[in-house]
Amino acid sequence: MSTKTYELMNLIFQENDLVNCGYLLVEFANIAYKDKNRATIVKKFYERLYNWLINKFYFYSLLDSEKKNYFICDSNTGANRYLALFTPEKTSAAKSLNNIIKFGENLILQFTKPIGKLITESSIENILQFLEKEYLFTSKVFSKSEAIFILINNSHKIYNSECLILNNDEYNRNLFFLYHMKKKKSISPEAVFFHELGHALHAQYSGDVKKVPDDIINFLQVLCFPRLKQVDNEEQSELFADVLSVGLMYQTPYEKFDSYKTIHQNDKKEFKNIVEKIIESL
């Protein structure tokens, strides 16, 4: 393995910016592709990925010292966690390198340098502690699938955050990718965080985050969303996450982050009632 390839591999796993990581992945794979020992290079790359990143990602204890069912990954390690989860699986040497190039190019296309704000670790911790005290939120919502909040030191060109739910025989995880806001003047990252908690609450309650239960759809349509049944399931789910986020913030110190100023207070009170009934049922 050439010195340049080894240096690039080190830089990839040390990088905390996904755009830079994308460029490094493309450069690494292009150089490795021309190397007569590319099979060995690919083997070493994936050994490094699996042993250093993926094993570390899954096997550090989320419940060690503080007995929590959630963990916060800071932005210094966020890019590493993202690589561990989304780098294409190893196949043949040539195909693996081509897939790595495409993956790197997608990172460059999807992400940009930080634009708006990023939620802080302390804000996440304070919000979760508050909701735990009020509702036993983390104990109930993350009882079956522990939550990992991953701060990414980039803005996404489309999303302010994303959620990935992993359910298999070995791991159950709610993974939340929290990005810098994609606009400088935007909703607060705290509001986005509450929205993601709304998705988590929905998923724990109904078992299917992609579909809102019919009784809730019927109630919300009569209450304040008369066209709710006319939109698709994805839009209904996103709106329901907003409803739950507003309900979680209503009449709390976090109400200042509620960006839905035009929704009537009586409706927000009903949103809070929905939240309380759902959590009580868990």
Query: Where are the alpha helices (H) located in 136-260, listed in sequence order?
Result: 137-141, 189-206, 214-223, 233-249
Q: Are residues 50 and 146 in the same domain?
A: no
DSSP track, 183-196: SSSSS-HHHHHHHH
The answer to the question of residue 167 being in a domain is yes
Read off the pLDDT of residues 223-261 as tens digits, 9 standing for 90 and up: 999 999 999 999 999 999 999 999 999 999 999 999 999
The answer to the question of residue 53 being in a domain is yes
Q: Are residues 126 and 104 in the same domain?
A: no
Q: Are residues 161 and 256 in the same domain?
A: yes
Task: For residue 185, name the pLDDT band (cuts at 50, 70, 90).
Answer: confident
| pLDDT at 207 (0 to 100) | 87
Identify whether the C-beta of residue 104 lies closer than 8 Å to the C-beta of residue 88: no
Q: Are residues 160 and 233 in the same domain?
A: yes
**Structural domain harbouring 193:** 121-281
pTM for the whole structure: 0.92
Q: Are residues 89 and 171 in the same domain?
A: no
Written as six digits, the tokens of 197 are: 């908690």
Average pLDDT of the chain, as a whole number = 91
The answer to the question of residue 166 being in a domain is yes
Written as six digits, the tokens of 260 are: 């839905």
Q: Are residues 108 and 198 in the same domain?
A: no
Q: Are residues 83 and 209 in the same domain?
A: no
Beta-bridge mates of residue 169: none
Q: What is the C-alpha to C-alpha distance for residues 250 and 140, in angstroms, rounded to an integer?
A: 20
Q: How many domains does the chain have?
A: 2
The answer to the question of residue 270 being in a domain is yes
Q: What is the C-alpha to C-alpha distance for residues 212 and 199, in angstroms, rounded to an integer?
A: 11
Q: Are residues 234 and 165 in the same domain?
A: yes
Q: What is the C-alpha to C-alpha distance for residues 273 and 70, in angstroms, rounded to an integer?
A: 25
The answer to the question of residue 32 being in a domain is yes
Q: Are residues 25 and 83 in the same domain?
A: yes
Q: Are residues 36 and 158 in the same domain?
A: no
Q: Are residues 158 and 247 in the same domain?
A: yes
| pLDDT at 65 (0 to 100) | 45
Q: Are residues 103 and 187 in the same domain?
A: no
Q: What is the C-alpha to C-alpha distance for residues 160 and 220, in angstroms, rounded to an integer?
A: 25
